[in-house]
Structure 1
Amino acid sequence: MHSERPAEHDEMLLEERGDQGILRLTLNDVARRNALSDAMMARLRETLDRVAEDESIRVIVLAANGSAFCAGHDLKEMTAARQAPDRGRSYFSRLMASCSGVMQAIVNNPKPVIAEVAGVATAAGCQLVASCDLAYAARGARFATPGVHIGLFCSTPMVALSRNVSNKHAMEMLLTGDPAGAERAAEIGLVNRVVPEADLTEYTMGMAQKIAAKSGMTVATGKKAFYRQREMSLAEAYEYASNVMVENMLKRDAEEGINAFLGKRTPQWSNE
């Protein structure tokens, strides 16, 4: 049985390293529905920054224990901050900066980050899913940006959401606050695929293993280029991507990969 006390700092994010360079990070503050509390965000940011420099890690899987993947910000912490003389302004500013930093640490991480969502992901929790490179959900998963119900528009979750789904689908979630089921989330592009809950971890880890088998250099190059070119004009994007391709072609792994393909053998990656 899970404790009703908030998880200790070292226990709220569990780390499990696999043999193939896959790191499973599991949100484990079940009593607070894995809320993005100050402590949780600090732990996530520290871990993501550390793993970004770890060459032995190829892929990160972000999962959660309990019925909620992540319930968003800790509203009790936010309410307590209102007692300050500035009514919480400085705290709220730090909170939003911290949350934005975590989301950007996922996008900017050279390792692909995969969300494994078996429960509810609301507000900043939905933002967390949208910020990951890939996301797979159990059929019972639910996604929502419900801030509008409590007078707090989900403006920062909007940033990640609007970069994953079309404007009208994003606005519908933001303006109504209504939850989207897993099938609907897949339909609008918030998650990649829906699988039975009993198969979710096996499926997600299978996808992680498939990616981990690729050249780490190639994957990191591609992830960085994907997010950078997306914000450019068409002409700028092609110029940038062409330069990336040239540099990529000159890397050892590209030479090895092409030679292996032509020689009908398995490539031996050096990640260079």
Structure 2
Amino acid sequence: MSESLDRTILLTGVSGQVGFELARTLQGLGRVVAVDRSALDLCDLDQIRRVVREVRPALIVNPAAYTAVDMAESNIDAAMRANGEAPGVLAEEAKRLNAALIHYSTDYVFDGTKDGAYVEDDAVNPQNVYGKGKLAGERAIAASGCNHLIFRTSWVYGSRGKNFLLTMLRLGKERDELNVVADQIGAPTWSVTIAALTANVLAQAVTAGDGWWSEKSGVYHLTAGDSTSWHGFAQAIFDYAWLDRKPVVKPIQATAYPTPAKRPANSRMSNDKLASAFGLCAPDWREALRLCMAEL
């Protein structure tokens, strides 16, 4: 990525929350070829190879994934193929082209039993199919030997798609009272924050020397600053929401709201490695939420 600006960036999942924002923030860093699922389906490994070989990118950015966490428990093959096998194929093709790969992973690779914030080299122990697939994807990328950055993020939301923010706003208009889990802790992370920090990292790669990718390749945590519970997140959403009538948000335990996929109780992840390697500081989750709500 240190050559001339005449480079091609293949961006997957452009219709998703993070992909939509990346299509904007990556402008100026190269010629962005943005594809959605109809053009590149992560469950079709042959199609992945064909598209990469046709585009011949200098960089692949892959925010696409099987993100239906609960559905993954009963649709294991598709989830593992999209989240585990497909990233490995992208990495293999990147290695063949001497290209680099940026991929996004999740807090769900951890079991949530740690007291403090997770760091990148903490032991992984995913508790659901989604987390197991994402961990398999991380390992396949590392095994390929390609230049890569894997950004683990958490509790992603934005102004489009399916996410906790939009669900709360919809339910808040329909109900006077909402029960929200209060004993799971993490960092709500705006899709715009992820895209902006990614673009900042890539801007450094563009101006760096030839050894930048080999020096920086690896796993990094990339979440909003500080943390809260789902209940705290919901309360903050309604604090900022322009609703004529705001619902009462009651805290409940996760055991009172059983889901097919088990979630970690602690999803906090430290961004210290990201700050040290790239000099970047993610905004506090409350500030990012305020900006997102202003956009809505």
In our comparison, the structure showing a higher alpha carbon Rg is: 1
TM-score normalised per structure 2: 0.32
The structure, 1 or 2, with the larger RCO (C-alpha pairs under 8 Å, 6+ apart) is 2
